[in-house]
């Protein structure tokens, strides 16, 4: 009986790497808050991937319950996500905060009221340095409709296009 239990334990341990996910993706939604007029940025990533990257960055095991966790997370997001207006000027995104569960982390940023983001450049390199297969999707939801930018290691930036018509 002990041999069967031991064999089962060994099988489980050996299959754990196969259970790790093979897809690396992040999702950012950019939308306008109808009440404040601010443009909100909500980033969603796999918590394990973020902790892995921040552990490499800090040189020690990273956990969200650490004393300086929010500051480390904020700096990492600021260094790897940006938007530039049509003049090429980088917008100063305000840090709002983050929340996490056992699988996902959500990071919140905002920008004061903007007329629109048409022609703005979005750059998102979050997780690219650690996962070559990383894909970051940016969904833009505004009065010009819904559209998506697909960013990869080969294509780290894209432009928010708008179909300007009677919605001006």
Strands (DSSP E) found in the chain: 25-32, 39-46, 81-84, 94-100, 104-111, 121-124, 135-142, 145-152, 157-159
pLDDT the model gives residue 19: 44
Q: Report CA 108 to chain centroid distance, whole Å.
A: 10
Section 146-159 average pLDDT: 94
- Sequence length of the chain is 168
Q: Could you tell me the pTM of the whole model?
A: 0.82
Angle between helices 69-80 and 47-58 (to 10 degrees): 100
Tens of pLDDT, residues 126-148: 998 888 889 999 999 998 889 99
Does residue 6 lie within any of the structural domains? no
Does residue 3 lie within any of the structural domains? no
Number of domains within the chain: 1
Does residue 13 lie within any of the structural domains? no
SS3 of 123, please? strand
- Tokens linked to 122: 């979005």
Facing residues of 83 across strands? Answer: 122
Does residue 14 lie within any of the structural domains? no
Does residue 166 lie within any of the structural domains? no
Q: Which domain holds residue 153?
A: 23-160
Does residue 165 lie within any of the structural domains? no
Does residue 16 lie within any of the structural domains? no
Does residue 110 lie within any of the structural domains? yes
Please state, rounded to an integer, the average pLDDT across all residues of the chain: 86
């Amino acid at each position: 009986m002990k041999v069967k239990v031991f064999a089962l334990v060994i099988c489980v341990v050996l299959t754990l790497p196969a259970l790790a996910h093979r897809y690396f993706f992040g999702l950012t939604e950019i939308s306008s808050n109808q009440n404040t007029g601010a443009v909100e940025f909500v980033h969603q990533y796999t918590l394990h991937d973020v902790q892995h990257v921040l552990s490499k960055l800090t040189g020690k095991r990273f956990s969200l319950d650490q004393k300086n966790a929010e500051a480390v997370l904020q700096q990492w997001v600021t260094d790897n996500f940006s938007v530039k207006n049509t003049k090429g000027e980088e917008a100063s995104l305000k840090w709002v905060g983050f929340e996490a569960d056992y699988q996902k982390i959500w990071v919140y940023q905002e920008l004061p009221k903007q007329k629109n983001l048409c022609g703005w450049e979005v750059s998102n390199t979050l997780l690219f340095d650690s996962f070559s297969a990383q894909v970051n999707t940016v969904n833009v939801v505004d009065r010009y409709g819904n559209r998506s930018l697909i960013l990869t290691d080969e294509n780290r930036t894209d432009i928010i296009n708008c179909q300007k018509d009677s919605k001006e």
